[in-house]
Structure 1
Amino acid sequence: MRTITVKGTGNASARPDYIILSLNIEVLSETYDHAMLEASVRIEKLQGVAVRVGYRKEDLKTTSFDVQTRYENVKDRQGNYKREFVGYACTYRLKLAFDFDSKQLAQVISAIAECGAKPELSIAFTVKNPATVSEELLNSATENARAKAEILCKASGNALGQLLNIDYSWGELNVYSRTSYEVEDCIQPLMAMSKCAAPEIEPDDIDVSDTVAFTWEIQ
């Protein structure tokens, strides 16, 4: 049996319709209780922000929580280094996701800047239903592969026969806009004092591509 194997390339483009805010809080303190208490206070401030801008405090999700002991190398008078305990580092990573709205995003960022929690803030623009983009991508790859196979068969005086095999490595698509939006915690007090704290933006479209290999019989 004669066969032909062709790789089809699929392309899809989508306009971002979903925003994911990532908020990281880290507290370093000499005592465990104080580290946990300060982190708790800052999280409560962020939950208050969520409520003030129209969400529930439960909409602010914890994606990870970590507590570690921190040490540093200190040089003594003899020139030798020794490890000294610095404190307990408590780290919370949270997220708030909502439908894309440039004005709402500006309000949320301004409210975060004003609340005093001072999280590390980064923003990603994506789509609410990535499965739709994935389906468009695979349809595009299938059409591309078949068109290539038909051209090759016609050029060689053959006909495309039955589809024998599809080879595709399933994986999670990176369905995120290339637009980067990050705000350091040290900038947030300045934003809170400014009348133009958070400008409205229009993120770049999301462009994704993938490949699928098809094998047909040649008649």
Structure 2
Amino acid sequence: MYACKVWLATTVNQHQYLSVKVPYKPAAVRAFYFALATVPALYFALSLAFNVDRQRTGVFLLARALDSTLDYNPILELDLILTRTLIFAQSCDGDSSAYTCALYAFYACEHALTLTFEPKLKQALEKLYHQLPAPDVAEESLKLWWQANGLNWAEKLRKVMVERRSIGYNCQFNEQQKKKLNQYYSANQLLVDCLNSDCSVSSEVRQKIEDKLFSFKL
């Protein structure tokens, strides 16, 4: 559990410094990366990958409750795209999903490249992008390619995410750990709901509460 705790604390707390570069509250950025870091571990399912792809509310919901201005930002969008692509790619199995997975990976990687400005990350993503078959080839060819190479490609993507964005760690939580993470999220959500309700707290107390939200101490 300790190794997973270190990973999660590093991921969430490290990315709070994005708030220096983006006009959002540090607590909102921490909430975003907590959701991003735990979604694959807690809800690793193909259905979630589709859900995350259709709408971003699952990851942005609590972060936006902390900072209503939190919306589109290329840095946050990039990390979300990379994470959902990894979830989708690792969740694919069987003949029925191979074709969809190959198409999804191609277009998601293409989109990620439009958001990437860091040279080494861009170079790594371009390399992954060019390994994927073009979407205009025969459907059967796409399926066969993904069945033979999909998981290996996904693992390469995960390594790029870890090295260049500090996300995508492969931490296997057991059921007890998942329960604790859910409890931690719920406790933070309760505090956020309180801050956004009619409860009367001073600005000083509000700031102290926000400073503690999703702030891991090892």
TM-score higher than 0.5 here?
no
TM-score range, shorter chain: under 0.3
Q: Which has the higher contact order (CA 8 A, sep 6+)?
A: 1
Larger radius of gyration: 1
Name the structure where helix makes up a greater proportion of residues: 2
